[in-house]
Each structure stands twice: as structure tokens, then as C-alpha cells.
Structure 1
Amino acid sequence: MDALTRLVARIADVDQEAADALRALEGLDSPWTGVAGVDECLRTVASLAGSVVELHAPAHGLWLRASATRVDPIPVGAERHTPGPEHPLAPLEGGVGFLLRRGDHDDLLASVVTARAARLLGPLLDERRRASAPTDAGEGALEVAVDPGATPEDRLDALRRLRLRPEQTLVLHAVPGPRPSLAPPPAWSQVGVSRPRPASELPIAWNEARMALRLTATGEADDPGERWVRAGDVGSGLLALAAGFVAGAMRSRDVVALDAVGAPDSPAGRALTAISETTTIRSAAERIPVHHSTLQRQVKGLERELGWSVTEPAGRLRLDLAFALRRLERNYGRPGLY
């Protein structure tokens, strides 16, 4: 039994609430690093505190809302909670922002957890900023390494500057913006991920990642779908579709029919999204959630409106392609995606 465990046991005899708060601190003593560390820390805080938490860090350009299972950016213009009786505040070190939680000021466990997390988040945010900034040695090198027009000599030189071997297997990440990344971006970003490829094939990997990015969604109610799209999962066909897509050239009748049925966040839209993302009517019904017999009746009506079956293999493929085309149409021309 280590010293902390013995201390908790002794405190529990006197004050169980204080003992629980002390145990919770153990959950925050994790070796979090880099970009992912911010997400992991926030999810852990939300889990331990038993409430949604918000990170407001304007100095880092970050406004995040976290539950125990996910971290999402707070969109520009969306409501952000302000410190007050229902949203206790824990300031970050250095005055770069603060951490909010929903709940009672007198909740000892939640207060201890958020205060400790606020101290941890300062260094994690600094590390995140450093990780996203190019190093002097590698500045511009990755851009050269992914440039299909670079000479073999220039690409080899860029790989040396990045301390990469030509045969070394890598995965590239594309986020909205012009720069490729070897490091995994935050979970809440829209991200296209290449297939694993040797460093000598980084131009191919970069193209795959960018095309996969065009197939991503925001994950919000009006744009449901995956934030992270992996080239290996969607396959070469959809990547080729993304590469050649030009909005307005010839709008698919299936996309027109999909839009006519209802918006993505309408009951019809949610039903079709669930059908597209699952394998059976029963599993789609569980995701919505509704009773499977209710969804079966709804599907019959939706199929009449669409003009094709969404439960037969060919119709399911048609639905998936319609969703992909609509996503490409939505993303077309968006800054950082094209």
C-alpha cells in the first residue's frame, strides 16, 4: 500500500467526501502529452466531476466543451457559459483562460478536480502550441516532402531534415488549412487520414489525406457524420470521387431527392443517417432511438419519397453515395479544404 493510499484510508475514517476528492486526484496524475493530452484531460475532468466542463482559452484560440466521452469545439457565435453560481470557475495558470463546470460551488470533489486540472492544462496548452509550430530544422521540410513537384534530391533532403528514413512507414493528417501534419490533431477537428505509406510516398499520402478531409463532417446536428475519415476505410473510389468533384457541374438527382425528404437534423434526415451508418434497421432504430417497428414504417414512407429502397444492398449503396455527394457539395470551396 503506497503512501497516498494509506493517507486516503486514514482520511476516509474522518471525512469520506475529502477522501473521495483525494482519490480523484490520482485520476489526474497521468502522463498526458501533446495535442491529445488536452482532450484526455478534459474528458477525465468531466468524468470525475460528473458534469460537462468548458475550456475557455482565448490566448490559445480554444473554446472547448467536454463530456466524459467527447470533446467538441464551441462554435463561433454559440452560447458560452460565463462564471457564476451555476458555473464555478477555475483559472488557468498564466491568465490564459479558465475552466468552467456545471454544478455547485460547494461540491468538494468537483472543485478539487477542476482546480487541479486547471493547473495541468496550462503546460498542456503550451505543449500543444509548440507541437503545432514547425521547428527551425524542419520548417518547410514537410511541405517539400509532400510536394509532388519536388525533385527526388529535394525530397530526400527534406526527409533528412525531418529525421525520417525513406522506407519509414508514416500516416499523414490533413486538417482545414494548407499544412500537412505527422502528429494526430485534436479529436474534435475535422481530419483526413492517409493510408500508412513509406516516407518516400508522402505526396501520395498527402493527396489521400486531403481527399479524405473533403469527406468529413462537422458532426453537428445539421452536418452529421464522421469528423475523422481514413483513406483506408473509404477506399480509392470515394477518394477519386472527392478529387474530381465539382459542385454545380451536374447535381445528382439522388442528392436532390435526399434534400427533399428533409434536412439532416429532421426526423427523416436522422433516420436515413442512422440507416447509412448501421447494418440493420434494428441497430439504426437503437441509434436514433425509436422502436424498430416504428422505424420500419417510417422507412417505407421514406423509400416512396426517395424513389428507391434503402434496405436492399443496391439501394443502400445508392444512399451512401448520395450522402457522400452531399457532403462533398457542402464542403466544396470551403477554406482549408480545397
Structure 2
Amino acid sequence: MQALSERLSDLDAHVRGAIRVVAFYDTLMRRRVDLPALARSSAGLAVCVVGIRLHGTGSVTRTGPDGREAPGEPRTPSSTAPITLDEEEIGTVWLERPGPPNPLDEVLLDRLAIAAAAVVERYGPARTTMADPALVELAISAGSDEAARARALRLLGFPAGLPVHVVAVDSTLRLDEIGTLICPARPVKAAPLADVGVVLATAVEPTRFPDGVRAGIGSDGSTDRSWQQARTALRFTTARRPVVAFRDLGALALLAQVPEDVVRANADVAALTRVAGSPENLETLDAYCATGSLRRAAERLHLHHSSVARRLDQIGKTLGFALTEPAGLLRAHLALTSWRLLTGPGRPPTG
């Protein structure tokens, strides 16, 4: 680096300053400093308060140019930069410089962010959410033995003995965003597998799933069993019930074990397929099965109860039985659920 500096000595002061900043952080990284030491050194170089925040832990380090913790409330940053690890933003670094930014602040923050990511990775486990799909698959596979699954979980950053839920996700949103929302306290890891997203989390808050996500939640315990439960629960999700925990399914989970050819051959399911050709009728049947009441279904659909009654009468003629009878409501509910298991997300791969 010294030789390079000499060769570029004829360049302007900004370039020479940038090279010195790069050399400064190269030296810090070779010394394997931790985050507090990195913040102290950076504050001394910048001659202003330096801040480092990690999203995963919520920890914030603010250090003044004297090497001590900065007093008072954080000021509005004069400049910021994201800390990125494995293509995921895991934190932020910033400067609290009074007055206008220094011409070298951008270079300094860029190198500080790189150094902070290296420190987090070194002293981890890394607080990223996205994980190696092969390692996640090993952790949830029924084909792996218990020892292999335990080792995979340790490599993913889950301490031994800590309960882990597996969540099956169907969404176009980023899995790391979903993971950090449903398990903000960490640890949580995620990876896409073939046809579905997988999130492993020590705790899951079902109400924190964002709109547009369908998710099945497995129970804690053996991760291979939790994965199978999560896949099953995902199949029971609907637009009205986008998040389903396996433990809440009870005996309904047995329907997922019925072979598809048997389900398709059932007369009620075949008739339900004809009903599903009309989105209006399908929505009406869904509301009626969910509430068990004509009037409550009408309230949910924002329709007059007489309009819903006419629709249910027509649907009953298509299905071949009266929906207003208790047995008819049960048959319709089972047929609707079975039909969704054939058409919804999370179906096991075939072939």
C-alpha cells in the first residue's frame, strides 16, 4: 500500500486521502478488532461522533472522537451507509459531523461498513436472515438423521436445546423481510426451497406476517416433523385465513393425508369444482362455511341476507344438497376444504 501511495503521489489531495483511509481500515481488519474498537478508531479518524447499529440485535454503538461513549441523544446523521452481509442489509453506520460533510466522509463510511460486516461475520453467528438453502434443507429433511439435523441447526446459529419452529411461506416478498418481522428477537434463518420458502425461527408471531403472505406454521420440536406440519398447514390457508398454525387444524389435518385421486373422485368435490367456476359463488360459500350463519355471511360479504340466501340456494342445487341443513353445511365445508387442498399452495411435489 505504501508503494502504491508513492506512485500516486502526483494525484490530488482527495485521492491521497482516500488511499490513506483505505489503508487505515485494512490495518484494522488485519488486527481483528471488535465493534467497539472499530467505532473508537473510526471516531478518532473522522474527528466526530461515529455510530454503528445492527438491525438484528438492535444494538447501537456511538463513540466520540475522544474514544468514549458519545453523551446525549443521537444527532441527525450528517451521512450514513448500510452494512451489508450476504447481500442483506444487517445494519447502518453513520457520522454525526457538525456542519457540512467532509469530502472523505463517503470513503470513510464505505470502508467502515465493510469492516463492520467483517466483524459481525467473524464474531457471529452472523446476524443475517438468509441462509444456505442446502444447510436449511439438511436441517428439515426427514432423510437426515437427528445428529445431522442438530449439526445443521448449530451451523445456522441456533443454540442446542433451543426450540425451533419451521414456517412454510408462499409469497413474492423477500424471505429475510418476513423472517425479521415474525421473529424480531432472533435467531431466525430463511431460504427458498424448490416451490416454497422456508423460515426457521425460535418464536413466531402470527399477527406480524405482512399482507400478501400465506404461511403454515409447524410446532416446535423435531424440525423434520415441524416442516411437514408447516407444509400441511400452508395447504389450508385461504385469502381470508392466510396464516395457519398446524396445532389449530386438529382433526382437519387428516384431510391432507387422503390421496389426491380419492379426493378428485368424490362427488361433492367434483361438484364444488363447478361452483368454483364462479368467483362470486365461491366467495359466498366460503363466507357461509366460515361463519355457519346466513346473516353473518351476509355481513361479511356486505350484502342483504336475502341476496345471500338466493346464492346459497343456487349453490345447493349445483352441489346436490341443501346448505341450510347442518349435514349440508358440514358436507360443503369438507368439500370446500378438500378442493382447496388440491388447488392451493404448499402441495407436495409430484413425480
* TM-score (norm. length: structure 2): 0.48
Bigger Rg over Cα: 2
* TM-score (norm. length: structure 1): 0.50
More strand by share: 2
